[in-house]
Amino acid sequence: MKKYCFFLILLVLFSCLEKESNTNLSEKILIRKDSLFLKNPAIGKIVINPKNKSAVYGEIFIRIEKKICYMSGNISGLTPGKTHAVHIHDKGDCSSDCGTSAGGHWNPLGQKHGKWNEKTKEGYHLGDVGNIKADTNGIAIINFKTANWSFNDNSNLDILGKSIIIHADADDLVSQPSGNAGKRIGCGVIKLIANK
C-alpha cells in the first residue's frame, strides 16, 4: 500500500511538472511569434520545387520592413559553379512539369526586359531579380531588397501570389523578352505565412 501511494504521488508530481514545462514552452513560442510580428508585419515563403527533371530545391523568405521588401533564401541542386537566372513570374502556378504554367515575367509597368535598376528609357521588368551563382556544392544564396515591390497590399506592385522561377542558365540581361535564361528548373509560389 505504501509503495502504491508513493508511485501515485510521483505520478501526480510528474504530470504537474510536465504541464508546467509545456506551458512555459507555449509562452516562449508566443513571445517569439509576437516579436516576429512586431518586426515583420508581413512574412512570405516560397518553396522551390524541381522542374524539367532537375534536382533543384529551396526555401526563400520575404518580409517587409519600413516599406522595403527583403527576399532571402537558399537554393540547392544547381549546377556547381554555374550562374542561374531568378525571375518573378506572373502566375502563381507551378503545376506543369516544365514550369510554363507560371506564365511570363511579372511586368506590371509594361517595360522591356533588362538589368535591375539600370536607368535606361526601356527600364526592366519588376520580376527581373537577376542572377545567382552556385557554389561548388550546387548551392546559391538569394539576398535581395527593393522598395519597388509591395507585399500583401493588393496594389499592382504586390508580389503575393506570383511565382519564383529558377532557370538553367544565366540571364544575359539583354535578350527579349526573358534574357535567354534557358529551361525553368525550379518553381515556387509566393505565399503569405504570417501577417500582423
Just list the catalytic residues: 87, 89, 105, 113, 125, 128, 167, 184
* Locus of grid cell 513570374: 89
Rounded distance, CA 135 to CA 99, Å?
A: 24
What length is written for the chain? 196
* Locus of grid cell 514545462: 21
- Answer yes or no: are the C-beta atoms of 152 and 87 closer than 8 Å: no
- Answer yes or no: are the C-beta atoms of 94 and 163 closer than 8 Å: yes
DSSP 126-161: TTEEEEEE--TTS-EEEEEEESS-B-SS-STTB-TT
Strand partners of residue 43:
63, 194
